[in-house]
Amino acid sequence: MMDVGRHPNINLYTFSEVEEVSGYIGNFNVKVRKKARFVDETDCNACGECEKVCPVIVADEFQQGFSSRKAIYMPFPQAVPSVYILNNEDCLGHNPIACGKCAEVCEKDCIDFDMKDEIIEVNVGAVIVATGMDVYDPTEMDEYGYTKHENVITSMEFERLISAGGPTEGHFFRPTDREVPKKIAFIQCVGSRSHSATGNPYCSNICCMNTIKDSLLINDHYPDTEISVFYIDIRAFGKGFENLYVRSKKAGVRYIRGLPGEIFEDPKTKNLTLIVEDTVTNTVKDYNFDMVVLSVGVIPRRDSDVVQKLLTLSRTEDGFFMESHPKLKPVDAPTGGVFFAGCVEYPKDVKDSVTQASAAVARAEVLLNSDTISIEAITSECFTELCTSCGICTNVCPFNAIVGADAKLGTPAEVIEALCKGCGTCAAECNFNALSMKHFEDAQITTMIDAMLDENPMEKVTVFACNWCSYAGADLAGLSRLQYPTSQRIIRTMCSGRVDSDFVLHAFEKGAPIVLVSGCHFVDCHYIDANRWTQKRVEKLWDKLERLGIRPERLQLEWISAAEGQRWAKTMTEIDEMRKNVTEEEVKHTIKVLKEDREKAEAKRAKKQNKRITSKTDNPGAEISVPA
Amino acid sequence: MSENELRVGVFVCECGSNIAGSLDCEAVSEYAKTLPNVVCSVVNKYTCAEPGQQEIKKHIKEHNLNRVVVASCSPRMHELTFRNCVEEAGLNPYLLEMANIREHCSWVHLNDWDGATIKAKDIVKTSVARARLLEEQTESKVPMTKEVLVIGGGVAGIQSALDLADAGYKVNLVEKEASVGGLMATLDKTYPTMDCSI
């Protein structure tokens, strides 16, 4: 900790928040808000005179509220930087008549009630997100009576009570009578591995080992204390973990498989009774304790959405940030030049956090070590002469890579290539063909449809599959030698978001009996949420097909992941059955109505375009930007 | 031969018996020769192996190919291999197209020789159609700013900042609270070594 404060290569901004990030990999512009701490950081020598005279007493957050602090205080003794901070909300001093005592005694004149927030701008090439996690609040679990029964505490509170630097200087006692507990219970999986309304379904990873550690700490301090641990499973899977578990059992810690259904408090003694079903012996028993520690789980930071928006990140179902690839790019964020370290990605202990931090650094250094970096060649481009400045592309782009389209100013869209990841959603959504996706252009895809359907179209199922999930799922089906009918013909796009409505309609007009659009499940989308646009588009197409008297079932939409080879094979078999039910008359009718509909739309578009060109010539001023 | 004339080469891979065991590779290759702009089509035992790649390079030179279709495995497997191969022969790597006749054909139709052969022909035909419209692409370069932002001053942020700073990079470490340390600083001891957290 000390080292970060004095390293010549580190600019440390504490009590600061990142407020804005613009730019892209290699070239991020960052605005940092350095909040006013009302104490001059460079001059304060932490003499503590200010604290002595401060009349305000509030609960100390660092000590979990077990002790108090002043309005001007040191966050904790080893704080870096070793500088006082004045809590604006607690302080009376903003009216010097009311107080101002601290400023009077500060010999170095460090205290400035008028200090303002400062905005600092930095340019960086890479970003490491290490925003950590929050701890589960068990108040909502009525059965454990946390906050109702005073002798039920959390594992975080336990840490402060056992710590030599804590409010009791390491003399552990229970809150109600300041007596050392003779019988103490730990309850595992509080807020974790829960499928009820309270808590989270995932395993928090660190609580089993933390409890084992805590049991040994008590045993060390007070060998006579009886310790029981109530658990579902003990997960002691890391290096040295099993040893510690065995050590704790040898020290006499009792491990009971089963979680309490309820905790009752004796109103007189404040002792606690736990009713537990022991799942080894299948018996329900009462257990009495002086004190209970809830081994609370880890949750994503409650302010995760702030960082998510700043860096266009995505989150997995459990709320933690999603990595670029769960196995092969576990520390890379989907946004180029951004990396994860620590619990922001998933709950992990100190060692794993440190390991991941060094891994994130190594990944960042791959970029930092070169003077220039290559940018993906498969990006979209805008043909400005066709652009109507409608801004749909800007709206759908998951990476905010398209800027400049302004209908009022008449300025066309512009693609920032370094930000573009190549999903092609913009090209699919643009109604004026102004946006084109390099290497997956309209013509390159329609020619594939033509080639595959110009002979025996009735025997074929046209499939659009995204590169990362569905196409990979089809690969896995092959690798697993799963057998399915030969009717399927696949067109690969990078993302299902690239599948233009026109591709689907073109396939039907070419005589396709059935078309399948397939992509990643929503949480897996390689392009954050581009496949949400796929869904919207397919829903619109279903409406259109129905309106034109075409059975919407002939257009199928499936989310198939890279791990779902079996599902791919099953889907192919089912869709082939659907294909067999499509009649030639039906297809003929489809071709006819789609052709008519297309010609009508083309005529309308041509008319509209002519009008636009004429109005521009009639009114030359329209192209000049509006004065500011 | 005009400068813009499309000249497509098709390379059908047997992949040992992985492809040749379930469909007629020779027939697919012969069929490819009938497709527009295809000037050569050959069958290889293992196209990804060195001799297979040499064959592609040789034909690019001999036939002055400007589009290459490799009918073999999934592009997720070997697209990069063949892109590098055609680039070494002087072609832009984006002028390569892969026809997946293994994962999407021979392996999933093990017992339907005729059906798989027809499908493989179709896949090659579709890939040739696409190859004809492929264009050269270039990967652009942007400069790299040699400075880093670390958001969060807990144990992970501290470790990241120190590693980067020790490696000689300028680091901006931003912490929301008044001190670095994060959640770790509130712990008494840490497992499995039972040592102090700070």
B196 interfaces chain A, CB cutoff of 8 Å: no
Q: Do A1 and B162 touch (CB under 8 A)?
A: no
pLDDT digits (tens, 9 = 90+) for A72-92: 999 999 999 999 999 988 998
Compute how many other C-beta atoms are within 10 angstroms of the C-beta atom of residue A91: 21
Residues of chain A with CATH 3.40.50: 440-628
Pairing of strands B189-190, B195-196: antiparallel
CB < 8 Å to A486, chain B: 105, 109, 112, 115-116, 118-119
Average pLDDT of the segment spanning A116-123? 97
Compute how many other C-beta atoms are within 10 angstroms of the C-beta atom of residue B73: 28
Q: Residue for token digits 């009022």?
A: A408
pLDDT for position A14:
97
pLDDT for position A627:
43
Average pLDDT of the segment spanning A275-282? 94
pLDDT for position A563:
81
Contacts of A605 (CB under 8 A, 6+ apart): none
pLDDT-derived band at A621 (thresholds 50, 70, 90) equals very low
Domain A440-628 class? Answer: alpha beta
pLDDT for position A625:
44
pLDDT beyond 70 at A624:
no
Contact between A219 and A163 (Cβ < 8 Å): no
Q: Do B172 and A364 touch (CB under 8 A)?
A: no
pLDDT for position A626:
41
Q: Do A475 and B76 touch (CB under 8 A)?
A: yes
CATH fourth-level superfamily of A134-299: FAD/NAD(P)-binding domain (3.50.50.60)
pLDDT for position B194:
85
pLDDT for position A613:
66
Average pLDDT of the segment spanning A361-381? 92
Measure in Å the smallest separation between the Cα of B103 and chain A Cα atoms.
Answer: 4
Task: For residue B191, give the amino acid letter.
Answer: Y
Q: Which two tokens stand for residue A293?
A: 């520690």
Quote the CA–CA distance of B34 and A148 in Å, as a whole number. 83
Q: Do A375 and B172 touch (CB under 8 A)?
A: no
- Report chain A's mean pLDDT, rounded to a whole number: 93
* Distance in angstroms between the alpha carbons of the first and the last residue of chain B: 75
Q: Which chain A residue lies closest to B194 (C-alpha atoms)?
A: A213
Q: Which two tokens stand for residue B158?
A: 């501290």
B76 interfaces chain A, CB cutoff of 8 Å: yes
Nearest residue, CB atoms, A7 vs list B75, B165, B194: B165
Contact between A268 and A261 (Cβ < 8 Å): no
Among residues of chain A, what percentage have pLDDT more than 70?
97
Instruction: Give me the CATH topology for the region A383-438.
Output: Alpha-Beta Plaits (3.30.70)
pLDDT digits (tens, 9 = 90+) for A475-529: 999 999 999 999 999 999 999 999 999 999 999 999 999 999 999 988 778 888 8
Write the DSSP string, A440-465: S-HHHHHHHHHHHHSS-GGG-EEEEE
CB < 8 Å to A417, chain B: 140
CB < 8 Å to A483, chain B: 108-111
pLDDT digits (tens, 9 = 90+) for A20-37: 998 889 999 999 999 999
CB < 8 Å to B161, chain A: 4, 7, 10
pLDDT digits (tens, 9 = 90+) for A160-219: 999 989 999 989 999 999 999 999 999 999 999 999 889 999 999 999 999 999 999 999
H-type alpha helices, B34-112: 50-62, 75-88
Q: Which chain A residue lies closest to B171 (C-alpha atoms)?
A: A10
SS3 B17: coil
Nearest residue, CB atoms, B142 vs list A8, A26, A130: A26
SS3 A155: helix
Compute how many other C-beta atoms are within 10 angstroms of the C-beta atom of residue A68: 13
Torsion of CA B85, B89, B90, B95, to 10 degrees: -50
Residues of chain A with CATH 3.50.50.60: 134-299
Q: Which of A299, A309, A202 is nearest to A528 (CA)?
A: A309
Average pLDDT of the segment spanning A588-615? 87
The whole model's pTM is what? 0.76
pLDDT for position B26:
98
Helix (H) or strand (E) holding B189: strand B189-190
Q: Do B112 and A486 touch (CB under 8 A)?
A: yes
DSSP one-letter code for B105: I
B178 interfaces chain A, CB cutoff of 8 Å: yes
Q: Which two tokens stand for residue A491?
A: 């067109």
Three-state DSSP string of A493-529 = ECCHHHCCHHHHHHHHHCCCCEEEEEECCHHHCCCCC
Quote the CA–CA distance of A204 and A133 in Å, as a whole number. 11
Evaluate the CA torsion angle B159, B164, B167, B172 in order and state its sign.
Answer: negative
pLDDT along chain B (198 residues), means of 10: 82 97 98 97 96 97 97 93 96 97 97 97 98 94 94 97 98 97 91 84
Residues of chain A with CATH 3.30.70.20: 383-438
Bond into A347 cis (ω within 30) = no
Q: Which of B105, B89, B106 is nearest to B9 (CA)?
A: B89
B179 interfaces chain A, CB cutoff of 8 Å: yes
Measure in Å the smallest separation between the Cα of B118 and chain A Cα atoms.
Answer: 9
CB < 8 Å to B148, chain A: 124-128, 364, 368
ipTM comes to 0.84
Nearest residue, CB atoms, B142 vs list A133, A373, A452: A373
Helix (H) or strand (E) holding A299: strand A298-300
pLDDT for position A616:
56
